[in-house]
Amino acid sequence: MMFEYLEKIITIDSGENGPTVTLMGGVHGNESCGVEILNKLKNKLKIKRGKVFIIFGNPKAIKKNIRQTQENLNRIFREEKDLTQKEKKSYEYKRSREIIPFLIKSDILLDLHSSYTQKSIPFIICEKNSLDLAKILPSSVVCFGFDDIHPGSTDYFMNKKKKKGICIECGATGSKKANKIARVSVNAVLSYLKMVDTKSKSQIKNNQQSLRVSSIYKTKTNNFTLRKKFNDFEKVKEGELIGVDGKEKIYSDSSQAIVFAGNCNKIGSEAFVLLRVVDK
């Protein structure tokens, strides 16, 4: 894949009134599905109305096939006063400030991610203001409440601006399924907004499960080890051992679902998130 275009933010303008949508991939540089799909779309997407911005989130990390160069780009979309000096010195800070003006101009953001959990299922992260979009995306799971524990994500920024931000975790990184979910998701949003003629077959009819974040565990030492590999949305029982942080054993305080679980070697890392099933 050629990389010269990555820094550039691509604008596709129909010349007709309509919504402005940002399509983003590669916020984490080693999550390839969004990058691959947007790379294919950048020169051939035709829209009937409105405007589309195509953004490759973290070009330097994409080139190196790593998650980030210095900081997690998906935690940097916060107000200046809330950022540390260390964050402000990072490449990810600079890139976030290049992206923000385009998010401000946008009505809707679709941010494409993937997981290094091999059995990961597609799931949506959004807040209630984007539920109409969630319903037309190819996922049976919708998660709410991440804004409270993950300030600084792209969708968090959109929500704070009273706009619609939605992230879809498309599945296992590098899988054909994840690439397909990314492609179908883009088409579903643009079709729903009547920006393209292609009809979407991705709509989930009233059977999406809703979960709300109950807690996130951030490490206290530089040595957190999971008891075992947890699949996304695997059920953990009350009192079940999840991992060991230094010498401290970390247990689930109730029966919940776990996502984003991983071993960590840095204090303050996000080791796992727990969610509970909620009514819609």
The CATH number covering residue 108 comes to 3.40.630.10
150 pLDDT tier (thresholds 50, 70, 90): confident
Query: Do 55 and 87 belong to one domain?
Result: yes
Query: Do 122 and 219 belong to one domain?
Result: no
pLDDT in tens, 83-114: 999 999 999 999 999 999 999 999 999 999 99
Query: Do 182 and 241 belong to one domain?
Result: no
pLDDT in tens, 200-256: 555 555 578 999 999 999 999 999 999 999 999 999 999 999 999 999 999 999 999
Query: Do 37 and 143 belong to one domain?
Result: yes
**CB-CB contact of 224 with 216 (8 Å):** no
DSSP at 264:
B
Over residues 46-63, the mean pLDDT reads 97
DSSP at 233:
T
Of 156, 135, 161, give the one whose Cα is nearest residue 145. Answer: 156
Domain count, the chain: 2
User: Distance (Å, rounded) from C-alpha 106 to C-alpha 161?
Assistant: 10
Kindly tell me if the per-residue pLDDT of 20 is higher than 90: yes
Over residues 167-192, the mean pLDDT reads 95
Q: What is residue 116's predicted lDDT score, i.e. its pLDDT?
A: 84
Query: Do 223 and 183 belong to one domain?
Result: no
Is 170 inside any structural domain? yes
**CB-CB contact of 71 with 87 (8 Å):** yes
Q: What is residue 279's predicted lDDT score, i.e. its pLDDT?
A: 64
Query: Do 56 and 91 belong to one domain?
Result: yes
CB atoms within 10 A of CB 239: 10
For residue 150, the enclosing domain spans 10-192
Query: Do 143 and 263 belong to one domain?
Result: no
Total length of the chain? 280
Average predicted confidence (pLDDT) for the chain? 93
Backbone φ and ψ for 209, nearest 5 degrees, come out as -85, 135
The CATH number covering residue 230 comes to 2.40.50
Kindly tell me if the per-residue pLDDT of 123 is higher than 60: yes
Strands 209-218 and 123-125: unpaired
189 pLDDT tier (thresholds 50, 70, 90): very high
Q: What is residue 27's predicted lDDT score, i.e. its pLDDT?
A: 98
Is 49 inside any structural domain? yes
Strands 234-236 and 248-251: unpaired
Query: Do 129 and 15 belong to one domain?
Result: yes
Q: How close are the terminal C-alpha atoms of the chain, in Å? A: 42
**CB-CB contact of 188 with 137 (8 Å):** yes
4 pLDDT tier (thresholds 50, 70, 90): confident
Q: What is residue 206's predicted lDDT score, i.e. its pLDDT?
A: 54
User: Distance (Å, rounded) from C-alpha 273 to C-alpha 257?
Assistant: 8
State which of 157, 192, 227 marks the end of a domain: 192
Query: Do 39 and 118 belong to one domain?
Result: yes
Q: What is residue 57's predicted lDDT score, i.e. its pLDDT?
A: 97
User: Distance (Å, rounded) from C-alpha 216 to C-alpha 206?
Assistant: 28
